[in-house]
């Protein structure tokens, strides 16, 4: 069982904006090969940092309003939120250590 949280418009505020710990949000789609490439790293990060970092996944095909709200035009896009504010953004398939560099100093 993965520690990742599925993010939707219904739970975005409670899971991301109101989170007491930083949140890494992965914007992805089923058909996106680069998204599939980083999925194992995202899952490992979710498990490794459980309790210190929340990891959420937004399927852009199912949650287009959230993607539009943050101007997501390319996927995978990773956003890091802290204290209800977007702190970091990175687009593309990144190696695990680069993904970790997005949030490590915010923990």
Q: Which positions are catalytic?
A: 32, 35
Query: Residue 83: left if φ>0, alpha if ψ -120 to 50, beta else—which one?
Result: left
Tokens of 88: 């970091």
User: Contact 46/2 with Cβ under 8 angstroms?
Assistant: yes
User: Contact 2/43 with Cβ under 8 angstroms?
Assistant: yes
- Residues with Cβ < 8 Å from 53, sequence gap 6 or more? 21, 22, 23, 24, 45, 46, 103, 107
């Amino acid at each position: 069982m993965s520690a990742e949280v599925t993010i939707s418009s219904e739970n975005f505020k409670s899971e991301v904006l109101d989170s007491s710990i930083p949140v890494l949000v992965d914007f992805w789609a089923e058909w996106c090969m680069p998204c599939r490439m980083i999925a194992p790293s995202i899952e490992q990060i979710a498990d490794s940092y459980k309790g210190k970092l929340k990891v959420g996944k937004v399927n852009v095909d199912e949650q287009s309003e959230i993607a539009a709200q943050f101007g997501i035009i390319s996927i995978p896009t990773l956003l890091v939120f802290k204290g209800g504010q977007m702190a970091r953004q990175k687009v593309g398939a990144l190696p695990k250590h680069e993904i970790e560099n997005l949030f490590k100093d915010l923990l």
